[in-house]
Chains A and B, each alone.
Chain A
Amino acid sequence: MSDTTTAPDSVFDEVVDLIGALVGDDLALLGVEVRRDTAFHEDLGLESVDLVTLGGLLADRYGPRVNLAEHLAEFELDDVIGLTVGRIADYVAAALGER
């Protein structure tokens, strides 16, 4: 993982909101507290296909410069499996800061 940007809370909170839209329920109602170290697959019980959908939601929100699929295409499988919400937010922040 090459991006070293740590996402500000504002970006992190927006990513959490989008994941809430993905899950289809308010995460708080489900009793899930999403933190930076919350794992997308293991802790949220989501599948890789949901990561693709999240990529679409991120592109809708921020425009095409946030391209999660392109970013993840450079990952090894284990890194995708272990992806945390914080690292997704860090990527978004880095992509937004690039220009």
Chain B
Amino acid sequence: MPELKVNGLRTNYQLLPGAVGPDPWRANETVVFIHGMGTDSLASFYLTLAPPVAAAGIDVISYDLRGHGRSERPVSGYALADFVADLDELLCALTVTHPVHLVGNSFGGTIAYAYAAAHPHRVRSVVAIESEPPTEVWAAKMAGILAATTRMLGVEENYEWIEATFGAHHRRLARLAAARFTATTMADEVATGPMMTAREVAAITCPVLSILGRHGYQADDLGAVTASLPGGEAFVFDDQGHSVLVERHRAVRGLLVEWVRRHGGG
């Protein structure tokens, strides 16, 4: 299993080289998948989008964020800036020198926005699935979700409800999330920033595709993120909550391949 030291932490990653095909536009395009927070890992991309995207000729990098999957799990060090620094060091360690397409799910998309703002020359485009840039609005929403989740996971009877409603697998995931939130400062730290101002968000000039569920975390204002970004486009799935990646991965893969084709470096 491939591992690197990134900012001193053992980091699990997977590379999938793009298939060699006849289409010259595909040369030298790299997608970096950034998963979400809690019990998520590189698997949610690797077992859905990564193989077909690589088959379309695009190089794929997936990795486990610090504290997730099989990467190292420090007790603290979970501010957004830590995740952004990790991504930068990972790309350096893998000697990726051309601009990449960052594809983030949920919190992973927030990392992508922050990285694109901090390192504009290294980012060709951002595809953010059910994600927002790290503004104070996002921080307040995230802190609320994390506080509610932590409270919910602290009540034993809720695990019975989770199993009855979603199945045994989700009960195991909830146990895992509870253990990780208890063992680390992740839930307290993630929404601490530093946050971006509206002006800093507007300074992200690369193309951005915001993929949303109509009933997901941005249901209150589906147009807010794209309106704040000069290069922003949105795609909204009807009848869909936050789990866009899991439940709509086939449609997302089509959107993504077409997006990279449109916004490749040529």
Contacts and interface: CB of A to CB of B under 8 A. Distances in A.
Interface in B39-56: 39, 41-44, 46-52, 55
B70 interface: yes
B47 A72 contact: yes
B131 interface: no
Contacts, number: 59
Contacts of A56: 1-2, 14
Interface stretch (A28-36, A41-49, A88-96): A41-49
B41 A47 contact: yes
A53 B47 contact: no
Interface residues of B, number: 29
Contact of A67 (B2, B44, B51): B51
A23 interface: no
A52 B51 contact: no
Contact of A49 (B12, B48, B55): B12
B246 A52 contact: no
Interface of A: 41-42, 47-53, 56-57, 67, 69-70, 72-73, 75, 77, 80-81
Given A69-B50, A72-B47, A73-B47, 10 more contacts: A47-B41, A48-B41, A48-B43, A49-B42, A50-B70, A52-B14, A52-B42, A52-B46, A67-B51, A73-B50
